[in-house]
Structure 1
């Protein structure tokens, strides 16, 4: 509904606006409850990689740095009142994504190929789970010349490298210590 409020102020009062909507982001600092960082964390700790249902849910993925660049481009060059979808032109089924992640993790950790894939565990699907999240980013591509700067495989490799170089951050976030920090600061 926020988009409607913003557009109403543009149409009614002439407020200069541009809006963006994006597909699933991934990259550095991604909170580890989400699929990609969760799987990285679980592989590092030898824990199961939970995949909902049959794993065929499809998502378009966009490297977070490309998303930030798209927002900057739309802010500076987007048409006043315009709305732009930002997507990776890059749909993956969850199971295929996790298998690619497992392959890259095995290579980076010096494990035998297929080791991490053995951690894949199918879990009961959640109610109302969408089969596909898709976004058509043709407009931003054609009007503003934007496109992702990395392939999914490249962005995934960069993401894995970041998490491997920031294990202390990952451990702190997943241990619950950050909750203690907030309790000490704000209670």
Structure 2
């Protein structure tokens, strides 16, 4: 029986409610074993599926997803897993973007940036240059999402400088394109053109 084809709304809602309750039970069991991220991912997937077949939005599930992911962040912090903390904050930000909460969306993006910056300091100390350049690129992307063009431009320049020195050509072209668009956003057309010519 396909849920999308059910005409009886009462039956459809009953099936959806059972799916939600079963998913929450499984997610709670998963969380009890310390796998908070996976518990949140399970509920996120269920929410996505239900939204695609029956215009469904669950504040209850979203709050539970965020609760699991925040617990996972605490666990990752204790383990010193800075990159994983940053990725989890990004997932939370994406969830807030989906429910149109721009304040919490931006707050979680900035949290993600802060942890990527912390990780970048460590990568620099350990001379892991390629990963450092990739982190700078991720930071620049997140700054773009927060509409902070100046900081995005700064981190794309970091990527370009590292990529030139170490011949990471795969990182160069994208960063040149992105920084050129940053200059355009700031109405610095001549600098945008200069950076494009420099990239060529």
Q: What TM-score do the two structures reach when normalised by structure 1?
A: 0.24
**Greater length-normalized contact order (CA 8 Å, ≥ 6 residues apart):** 1
Higher-Rg member (1/2) = 2
Q: What TM-score do the two structures reach when normalised by structure 2?
A: 0.23
Flag the structure with higher strand content.
1
